[in-house]
Amino acid sequence: MNIVVFTKRVAAAQEEELKIVRDGEDLDISKLPFKVNDWDNYAVEEAVKTVEKFGGQVTAISLGDKESDEVLRRSIAMGAKEGLLIRKDDPIFDPAVRANVAFNFIKKHNIVFDAIFTGVQAEDDQFGVFGGYLAALLKIPFASMVIGIDEWKTDHVVVKRELEGGMSERVRIGIPCVLSIQTGINEPRYVSIMGIRKASQVERKVFDGSEYMENIRSSIELLRWSYPPKKEGAKLLSADIDSACRELLEILKEKGVYQ
């Protein structure tokens, strides 16, 4: 069994202050820390667990600049057999373009797989459609929001998908297929610094991303970066409990919450 996992290096911007530069044309992320995309971490773990149970190998692929080799080393330290870097120094914002590059890469190098795992979405752009696009291009079945793999046979896999309202469904998907893995499906294994150093001794192949951009045009144009509007500060109520309650009721009536 061969499983391909796409993994992405993203800026860890959740607790960092982002700076808009060049009059809204770009972001300065030069001082931000980077890490593996959280959803992709679960995808790699699930792929490794699957081949540990059923046999086979995992190939990790990343599309990004040379620093994206970092997430490939981590994937190998987790159990992937090899890492392939499609090097593209200029970021690609359009997920359809990223999927087309991945599709061209797979076809050009005749990469054989039983399944492709991706994360449900990326922390930086939040589009959440890469896996679906890629499956459509490959003309193979696709399942999103996968929170469990219940059965794996030679011609199909049975997966559990997360739905809204706390519900889930079990579906049977033909092989080969693309599965977008949701967080929480497993507990990603700890990867030590020593493990990553050892993984760096495994050869990672680097490919020129521009070779897979032929006849691909983006349908998304980044117009401008902007900060969200500032919200009003919290309203402090009177210290006296009776006055505070009356004031709160008036606020609720004004907002239409209480009549």
The CATH architecture that domain 2-212 belongs to is 3-Layer(aba) Sandwich (3.40)
State the pLDDT confidence band at 14, using cuts at 50, 70 and 90: confident
CA distance 88 to 185: 30
Rounded percentage of the chain residues whose pLDDT exceeds 70: 99
Tokens describing residue 122? 């990326």
Rounded percentage of the chain residues whose pLDDT exceeds 90: 68
How far lies 248's CA from each of 233, 237, 239, 244, 245, in Å? 16, 8, 12, 6, 5
> Above 80 in pLDDT, residue 259?
no
State the pLDDT confidence band at 236, using cuts at 50, 70 and 90: confident
User: What's residue 149's pLDDT?
Assistant: 94
Every domain of the chain with CATH number 3.40.50.620 lies at 2-212
User: What's residue 227's pLDDT?
Assistant: 83
Global confidence as pTM? 0.85
For residue 63, how far is the Cα from the chain centroid? 12
Tell me which residue of 32, 38, 45 sits closest to 5, measured CA to CA. Answer: 45
Spell out the residues 6+ positions from residue 138 whose beta carbon is closer than 8 angstroms to its own.
Answer: 103, 106, 116, 176, 178
